[in-house]
Structure 1
């Protein structure tokens, strides 16, 4: 590989590789030492094409969810089954993995900017900005950048657009699926909200069982299924349909999240 070869977004792959290696080594203990990540379905990754894949997942933290997926993807592609033991897999990471994230999040400090270089497809939220509700048009450049990333490799997106559970699926994800026709792979995660703060940088609690279930690709009729039908299919696939809400109401969950955020303010980085 030429030393200064770049991806479609202009990022130098040699630099990206080393960033993934370094942060992979630093973060590995968060899923193997401080807490344990239980993985199911990693065999579903091995037969996927090298590009044209869209992963849809529920969202619990800003960064820890994506970091865990980077570990699982690379471990699986190196031959490990449902395991991220032995960090050696990170030496040859898959470099065409991207994740969709809010631009304001990825610009908020040096660390997020480094994470962005590792694979962020930054978009501007149409419904919220600077902590306030807004209403604005989707930027065509954002959509085309997501399409560019799908064409080049694997893309992770969180179709609810928030870490709050059981929020509605953003219809834009369904439009992207109909437009670019990717292989759509659902992922369901749990435990990250309990073990990390909202940003996914500070360890909030140790000895938490984190889980990641990688499901088989969805069967989607790109031409004939409506956006609404795809949205419903996504809700069920990532287990965020209201029918999964059996014990706590959304309001109760929001109250718990607020309590957790207050506690997180007292935590130290890499605690």
Structure 2
């Protein structure tokens, strides 16, 4: 029956649709009310293929970043240019949007489990577990899950694997790009760290400038380009290359460090 149609991960699409609608209504004011999200480049979204698209972005909170992207993507597909005005765009949401998240994060409480049903591809981090540094092999089943999601639709990933700015890009993202050859769309966000708590669930401050810039897809030679070259392109595209540190005012760097310390102590 169409009512119980499932996606490749076994999630019932009817249930997923209603979860997106409800979460969208509950979170809309966080980006257009308490704060005003400034969007640039959302017209790019409308011209993307139905599947095999990988969004790469810097990361500032666990959940608010992804929630904002769900809003912006669906608004753009409903012909709203650089705007999420009128939450009616969520009545017919795109159901094949996924995002990569740490498995331990998505098991920590009821809300993360609901968020996981909405579209999480939960993976085991190879470098961090339960607050401790680890060093373990990539699980091939995790790579296969990402490939399955790309085959079905769009995938959001945060290639630094952390909310701390200017950390190195994880090589796994470059390997995924070379293996599955997706359209790679960079996104740069700002203001979420100042607006929300670390998880991105509680509004910490109001009237904070939030921004999301969606850039043109990267040009990548999937066959011949090296992993290192792809990583460097990602660093520049999401504005996390070390060279950007040289042009950021000292006061802004000090504020970023203060906020990062606040996050670590949370």
Taking structure 2 as the reference length, the TM-score comes to: 0.96
Any idea what SS the aligned residue of 2:187 has? strand
2:7 equivalent to 1:7: yes
Match of 1:198, SS? coil
Q: Shift of residue 127 of structure 1?
A: 0.2
Q: Secondary structure at the match of 1:48?
A: coil
User: Aligned partners of 1:257 and 1:95: how far apart in 2?
Assistant: 33
Q: C-alpha distance in 2, partners of 1:227/1:70?
A: 29
Mapping for residues 81-160 of structure 1, pairs under 5 Å:
81-160=81-160
Using the alignment, how far apart are the partners of 1:259 and 1:135 within structure 2? 26
Matched residue, 2:34? 34
Q: Deviations over 1:215-241 (max 9, x none)?
A: 000000000100000000000000000
**Aligned residue for 1:256?**
259
Equivalent residue, structure 2, for 1:269: none
What SS class does the counterpart of residue 142 from structure 2 fall into? helix
Unaligned 5+ segments in structure 1 are: 266-271
1:245 shift after superposition? 1.1
Matches of 1:42 and 1:4, distance apart in 2: 32
> Contact 2:38–2:212 (CA<8 Å) still a contact in 1?
yes
Q: Which consecutive aligned stretches of 4+ in structure 1 deviate over 2 angstroms post-superposition? A: 246-256, 259-262
Give the alignment of 1:13-52 within 5 angstroms.
13-52=13-52
Structure 2 counterpart of 1:77: 77
Residue 250 of structure 1, CA deviation: 7.6
Is the contact made by 2:72 and 2:83 (CA closer than 8 Å) also made in structure 1?
Answer: yes
Cα offsets for 1:61-93 (capped at 9, x unmatched): 000000000000000000100000001000000
**Structure 2 equivalent of residue 268 of structure 1:** none
Residues 9-28 of structure 1, C-alpha deviation per residue, up to 9 Å, x if partnerless?
Answer: 00000000000000000000
Deviation at 1:211, TM superposition (A): 0.2
Alpha-carbon RMSD across the aligned residues, in angstroms, is 1.5
Give the number of equivalent residue pairs.
263
Listed one character per residue, the Cα deviations across residues 7-57 of structure 1 (whole Å, up to 9, x for unaligned) are: 000000000000000000000000000001000000111110010100000
- 8 Å CA contact 1:101–1:122 kept in 2: the answer is yes
What does residue 228 of structure 1 align with?
Answer: 228
* 1:168-227, Cα deviation, whole Å (9 max, x unpaired): 000000000000000000000000000001100010000011000000000000001000
TM-score, normalization: structure 1? 0.94
CA distance 1:231–1:251, shift in 2 (3 Å): farther
5+ residue gaps, structure 2, are: none
The aligned residue for residue 242 of structure 1 is 242
Q: Is the 8 A contact 2:193 2:259 kept in 1?
A: no
| 1:259 Cα deviation after fit | 2.7
Q: 1:198 to 1:71 in 2, by over 3 A?
A: same
Q: Check whether the contact 1:186–1:218 (CA below 8 A) recurs between aligned residues.
A: yes
* Structure 1 residue 164 displacement after superposition: 0.2
